[in-house]
């Protein structure tokens, strides 16, 4: 597996330490005993690691509770463990893969956290509180390869995948900021989750563990720009996660201009794959459609979208564009957005128009990171 400490230190590693309080890579480990962020282990792997240390397996459950129920940040806080075991664990594993470098927004409203990683890289996460929900929107990669025209995440290119421990670390930072465990998790931050398949799935399984963070699969949403091999694999996982597919255009000519991935995985194949996915998993897919003034919001485009999606069991989520530097587009006018949704609804589609501060913040994911590079 990937470890949060495997990556080589960037020139900014030292300053990241000062800013974030995260230890630099290999701070206390010899190179032949790679350190590992403990939050990247599945429960059965933790049990195996304890067996290897000669400790009884029931310790795994105890440690799991300290990590994900009490959410301790120091080994010494694991009071029911023998001091000697704590010391050996501290030698082998690290407790922190991610640290909050900067938080914007006020508690109780949407907040964005700039997340510092141990090698000096950073990503973003967004907290979106609502009545009964504490949603966290996490990043899956440092930067992005996919270069969608209106998305800030890929503007500075791709740096690396996040490890599962770094993804789980973001959920733990959200728990700290909320003062409670998040109830919903969405992979809509920086990066393409299906391009970091193994670590994302591992993170999902870790946070899904009932006696830990206990995030039910149906409260976890994975959003993809349409990476077909990843979608096919996901269909066979037997997981009940929610799936969002970023569509943004009803035809390949426009979609390829907005989402270069469309050239590799064009709409007919993508929609056929989505259809297979719904048949195999019996789950409904949500299609994300960012409304951009005079680009993809004409009545004819709504008709074309309705025809395209008619054979699928799906929802459509319309989101007005969040303006980003480097993309000249503007959000659709409210009247146009209303007309667009009415066309979809009349055609029998289940469509919602969303425009909240939290969504604007999450849609603008990547901008804070870019601003701080
Ligand atoms: N790579 C994944 C997840 C990250 S983006 C994906 O493409 O789905 C999460 C959602 O926000 C996507 O639907 C994306 O297209 C959308 N998005 C990105 N930038 C946006 C912007 N400036 N305004 C509105 N939505 C945006």
Which atom of ligand 1 is found nearest the CA of 187? 3
| Cα dihedral value 159, 357, 341, 260, nearest 10 | -10
Q: Is 303 in the same domain as 330?
A: yes
Would residue 137 show up in a list of annotated catalytic residues for this protein?
A: no
pLDDT digits (tens, 9 = 90+) for 96-152: 999 999 999 888 888 999 999 999 999 999 999 988 899 999 999 999 999 999 999
* 71-99 mean pLDDT: 95
In a shared domain, residues 72 and 121: no
User: Which pLDDT value is given to residue 366?
Assistant: 64
- Taking the C-alpha atoms of residue 179 and residue 128, their distance in angstroms, rounded to an integer, is 14
CATH code assigned at 133: 3.20.20.70
pLDDT of residue 9: 33
pLDDT-derived band at 12, boundaries 50, 70, 90: very low
CA 334 – CA 126 distance, rounded (Å): 25
Q: What angle in degrees, to the nearest 10, is found between the helix axes of 197-208 and 228-235?
A: 40
Q: What is the rounded CA–CA span in Å between residue 264 and residue 296?
A: 21
Q: Are residues 270 and 339 in the same domain?
A: yes
Residue 134, pLDDT score: 96
The answer to whether residue 175 scores a pLDDT higher than 60 is yes
CATH number for position 80: 1.10.150.530
Q: How many CB atoms lie within 10 A of CB 220?
A: 19
Helix (DSSP H) and strand (DSSP E) numbers for the chain: 14, 14
Place 88 in a pLDDT band, splitting at 50, 70 and 90.
Answer: very high
pLDDT at residue 359, rounded to an integer: 60
Work out which ligand 1 atom sits closest to the CA atom of 224.
8
251 Cβ neighbours under 8 A, 6+ residues apart: 267, 304
Q: Which domain holds residue 42?
A: 38-92
For ligand 1, atom 11: residue with the closest CA? 363
Q: Mean pLDDT, to the nearest integer, of 162-172?
A: 97
266 and 329 within one domain: yes
Any residues with Cβ below 6 Å from ligand 1, and which?
Answer: 148, 150-151, 188, 192, 223-225, 246, 288, 290, 319, 321-322, 324, 363-364
pLDDT, residue 361, reads: 62
- pLDDT value for 367: 66
Q: Is residue 19 part of a domain?
A: no
Domain co-membership, 80 together with 112:
no
Question: Please, what is the Cα angle at 342 between 339 and 344, to 5 degrees?
Answer: 115
- Same domain (yes/no): 330, 216: yes
Q: How much distance in Å is there from the Cα of 293 to the middle of ligand 1?
A: 16
Average pLDDT over residues 321-335: 92
**49 and 196 inside one domain:** no
Residue 365: active-site member: yes
What's the domain count of the chain?
2
Indicate the residue among 59, 92, 125 that finishes a domain: 92
């Amino acid at each position: 597996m990937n470890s949060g400490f495997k990556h080589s230190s960037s020139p900014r590693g030292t300053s990241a330490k000062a800013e974030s309080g995260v230890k630099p890579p290999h701070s206390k480990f010899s190179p032949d005993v790679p350190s590992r962020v403990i939050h990247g282990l599945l429960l059965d792997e933790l049990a195996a690691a304890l067996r290897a240390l000669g400790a009884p397996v029931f310790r795994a459950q105890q440690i799991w509770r300290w990590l994900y129920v009490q959410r301790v940040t120091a080994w010494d806080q694991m009071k029911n463990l023998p001091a000697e075991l704590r010391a050996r664990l501290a030698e082998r594993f690290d407790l922190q893969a991610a640290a909050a470098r900067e938080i914007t927004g006020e508690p109780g409203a949407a907040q964005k956290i700039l997340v510092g990683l141990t090698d000096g890289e950073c990503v973003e996460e967004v907290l979106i509180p609502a009545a009964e929900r504490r949603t966290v929107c996490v990043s899956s990669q440092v930067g992005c390869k996919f270069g969608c025209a209106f998305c800030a995440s890929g503007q500075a290119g791709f740096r690396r995948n996040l490890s599962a421990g770094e993804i789980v670390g973001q959920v733990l930072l959200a728990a700290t900021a909320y003062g409670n465990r998040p109830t919903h998790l969405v992979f809509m931050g920086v990066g393409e989750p299906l391009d970091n398949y193994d670590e994302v799935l591992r993170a999902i399984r870790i946070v899904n563990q009932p006696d830990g963070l206990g995030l039910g699969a149906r409260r976890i949403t994975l959003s993809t720009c349409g990476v077909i091999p990843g979608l096919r694999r996901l269909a066979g996982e037997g997981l009940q996660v929610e799936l969002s597919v970023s569509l943004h255009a009803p035809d390949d000519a426009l979609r390829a201009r907005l989402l270069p991935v469309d050239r590799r995985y064009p709409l007919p194949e993508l929609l056929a794959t989505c259809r297979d996915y719904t048949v195999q998993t019996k789950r409904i897919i949500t299609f994300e459609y960012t409304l951009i003034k005079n680009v993809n919001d004409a009545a004819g485009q709504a008709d074309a979208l309705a025809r395209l999606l008619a054979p699928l069991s799906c929802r459509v989520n319309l989101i007005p564009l969040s303006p980003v530097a480097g993309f000249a587009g503007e959000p659709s006018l409210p009247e146009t957005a209303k007309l667009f949704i009415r066309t979809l609804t009349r055609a029998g589609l289940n469509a919602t128009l969303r425009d909240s501060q939290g969504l604007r913040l999450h849609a603008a994911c990547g901008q804070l990171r870019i601003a701080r590079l």
